[in-house]
């Protein structure tokens, strides 16, 4: 097993630039010109909440072979090794050791969002293809650098929006373009959570809805905190920042990068309209009065001016109701059956008067039957196939840029307390 020794934060940041420069010469050194293997040899960087899900998938899929696992927290590293299904898998605590490994063809990045830019750029410069979890990054400048690096190095990139794997998304878009529900003027998506003070949203420990708090002394002993912080502000170990990083601005973009990104990417998958023209966003910590910095209520309204359409995202963390994607036209509406990444069927309803309590639910005019649709690869299988064929993925760097710009428009609107606009020529939020 390849285990790197701990280094202090100053030294780590100093050497990161050197490592990136070395990695820039990587394709010639790591055999990137060789035909991709089958199964694809993959390394996982980050095996926390989402990362553990991903390695359990790749570790059991015939299209992939997990050859290395990287994490700075020992228990997460161990569970990644256990899920790899490879007795010869390498254990690594510095992601740059993964990138220097000629055996690795592709990496899966599932770290806190503030790490995505550096890891992705270093990976493609080292000749690796990349599957990266959403939200793609935390600034427009970073998104531009990431997109440019992928294109310059000719690498394959997939962003983790599983809603793109469902035929229902494409079929719904075809129906809208065929004018089956009339002119589309309104789209509504959202996410809702609820909980109790000891089981609050985003306050789990190591996996979704795990609320048993590990001993913080042991956590600190098992964690390389300085490596975990990376480019984030240097602070003493804070277990709430480590476990609940989505609640704090230095590491991500709150509901925008975690939840809105999924829902608005599903809107992009259905409609293909690109980055919205404007956004107005209001956020508030309305219910959870803990030390979280990012709002528990996130309401973003987007305008697609050329299409005369409004899209609204509702993020509410004190209710368990579910807002599935709705596409509303003058003559009817399409209602999907689940949140963005799970929406695999829909029903079409004609326009009708508002529903009143006691009314008999309306019958849909049409239903989408997933069993009748042609089968297609899962989102990760699409990535495996792209690595082998060098054809673009469903959610490549261009689509990832659209996702990043869309979610960041809501963040900028919230922080500036005003409507923001997307400048298409400059590719900037103004």
Say which CATH topology domain 9-155 has.
Rossmann fold (3.40.50)
Identify the pLDDT of residue 66. 98
Cα(397)–Cα(391) distance, rounded to whole angstroms? 13
* Contacts for 221 with CB less than 8 Å, ≥ 6 apart: none
Identify the pLDDT of residue 321. 87
List, in sequence order, the alpha helices (H) in 311-378: none
Strands 297-304 vs 428-429: parallel, antiparallel or unpaired: unpaired
Mean pLDDT of 231-237: 97
Of 62-71, 295-304, 348-357, the least confident: 348-357
Mean pLDDT of 79-104: 98
Say which CATH topology domain 164-198+252-372+397-429 has.
Dihydrodipicolinate Reductase; domain 2 (3.30.360)
DSSP summary character for residue 46: -
Mean pLDDT of 32-40: 72
Mean pLDDT of 300-305: 98
> Fold identical between 9-155 and 164-198+252-372+397-429?
no
Domain boundaries, the chain: 9-155, 164-198+252-372+397-429
Cα(315)–Cα(295) distance, rounded to whole angstroms? 9
Instruction: Report the half-sphere exposure of 58 (CA within 13 A, side-chain side).
Output: 34
pLDDT in tens, 340-355: 999 999 999 999 887 7
pLDDT of 18 > 50? The answer is: no
Mean pLDDT of 26-46: 69
pLDDT of 8 > 50? The answer is: no
pLDDT category, 34, cuts 50, 70, 90?
A: low
pLDDT in tens, 116-146: 999 999 999 999 999 999 999 999 999 999 9
DSSP conformation letters of 133-151: PSS--S-HHHHHHHHHHHH
């Amino acid at each position: 097993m390849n285990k790197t020794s701990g280094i202090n934060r100053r030294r780590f940041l100093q050497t990161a630039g050197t490592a990136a420069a070395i990695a820039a010469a990587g394709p010639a050194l790591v055999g990137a010109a060789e035909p991709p293997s089958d199964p694809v040899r993959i390394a996982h960087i980050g095996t926390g909440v989402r990362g553990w899900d991903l390695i359990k998938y790749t570790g059991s899929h015939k299209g992939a072979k997990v050859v290395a696992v990287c994490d700075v927290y020992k228990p997460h590293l161990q569970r990644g090794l256990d899920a790899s299904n490879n007795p010869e898998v390498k254990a690594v605590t510095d992601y740059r050791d993964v990138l220097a490994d000629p055996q690795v063809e592709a990496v899966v990045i599932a770290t806190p969002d503030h790490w995505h830019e550096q890891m992705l750029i270093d990976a493609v410069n080292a000749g690796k293809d990349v599957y990266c979890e959403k939200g793609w990054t935390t600034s427009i400048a970073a998104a531009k650098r990431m997109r440019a690096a992928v294109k310059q190095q000719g690498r394959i990139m997939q962003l983790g929006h599983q809603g793109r794997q469902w035929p229902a998304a494409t079929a719904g878009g075809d129906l809208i373009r065929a004018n089956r529900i009339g002119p589309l003027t309104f789209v509504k998506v959202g996410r809702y959570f609820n909980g109790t003070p000891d089981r609050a949203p985003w306050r789990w420990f190591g996996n979704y809805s795990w609320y048993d708090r590990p001993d913080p002394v042991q956590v600190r002993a098992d964690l390389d905190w300085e490596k975990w912080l990376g480019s984030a502000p240097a602070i003493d170990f804070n277990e709430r920042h480590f476990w609940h990083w989505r609640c704090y601005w230095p590491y991500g973009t709150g509901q925008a990068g975690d939840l809105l990104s999924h829902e608005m990417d599903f809107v992009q998958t259905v409609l293909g309209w690109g980055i919205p023209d404007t956004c107005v966003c209001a956020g508030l910590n309305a219910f959870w009065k803990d030390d979280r910095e990012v709002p528990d209520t996130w309401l973003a309204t987007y305008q697609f001016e050329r299409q005369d359409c409004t899209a609204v995202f509702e993020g509410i963390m004190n209710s368990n109701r579910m807002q599935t994607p709705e596409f509303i036209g003058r003559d009817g509406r399409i209602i999907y059956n689940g949140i963005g990444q799970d929406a695999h069927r829909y029903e079409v309803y004609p326009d009708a008067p508002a529903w009143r309590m006691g009314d008999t639910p309306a019958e849909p005019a049409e239903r989408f039957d997933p069993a009748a649709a042609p089968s297609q690869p899962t989102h990760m299988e699409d990535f495996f196939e792209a690595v082998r064929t060098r054809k673009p993925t469903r959610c490549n760097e261009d689509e990832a840029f659209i996702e990043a710009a869309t979610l960041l428009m809501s963040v900028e609107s919230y922080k500036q307390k005003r409507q923001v606009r997307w400048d298409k020529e400059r590719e900037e939020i103004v």
